[in-house]
Amino acid sequence: MRLLLDTHALLWWLSGDPRLGPAAAALVADPLNEVLVSAASLWEITVKARIGKLDADVTEIATATRDQGFRLLDIAIPHLAALQALPSHHRDPFDHLLIATALAEGAAFLTADGQAAAYPVRVIAADG
């Protein structure tokens, strides 16, 4: 299975945060699954760190992401095309791009965001 991690799911995994539920953690840990991380998540982390909402070093997170064997995705034209076609059920631009990326990549979206279910993407509960 291909899994795209939402930003909070990535941070929870890397920090061992118990908010990442055992079922979700098992999916991330399963070597048969391809775990994807979007550059949009690193961008979101950078923005939140710059405004003081998050204490994180994006370079360390990118290194840890690669060390975990996760595939880091650049933002690509197919992701943006899927974003352009996506309805706007809420206002978070990072969530929109992540959902569009999951759609374009044929990946399930691992998230605790309840609003993601309003979109035509397979959602897997990160907190379940």
**Domain map (residue ranges) of the chain:** 2-125
Q: Looking at residue 88, what is its pLDDT?
A: 85
Per CATH, the number for 2-125 is 3.40.50.1010
State the Cα–Cα distance between residues 66 and 47, nearest whole angstrom. Answer: 21
Helix (H/G/I), strand (E/B), else coil: 49: helix
Q: Where are the beta strands (DSSP E) in the chain?
A: 2-5, 34-38, 71-73, 108-111, 123-125
Average pLDDT of adjacent 10-residue blocks, the chain of 128 residues: 98 98 98 98 97 96 97 97 91 93 98 94 94
pLDDT of residue 94: 95
What pTM value is reported for the model?
Answer: 0.95
| Cβ–Cβ under 8 Å, residues 7 and 15 | no
Q: Which residues contact 114 (CB under 8 A, 6 or more apart)?
A: none
Could you tell me how far CA 71 lies from the centroid of its own chain?
11
pLDDT at res. 28: 98
Q: What is the pLDDT of residue 91?
A: 81
User: What pLDDT score was predicted for residue 116?
Assistant: 93
What pLDDT does residue 90 have?
79
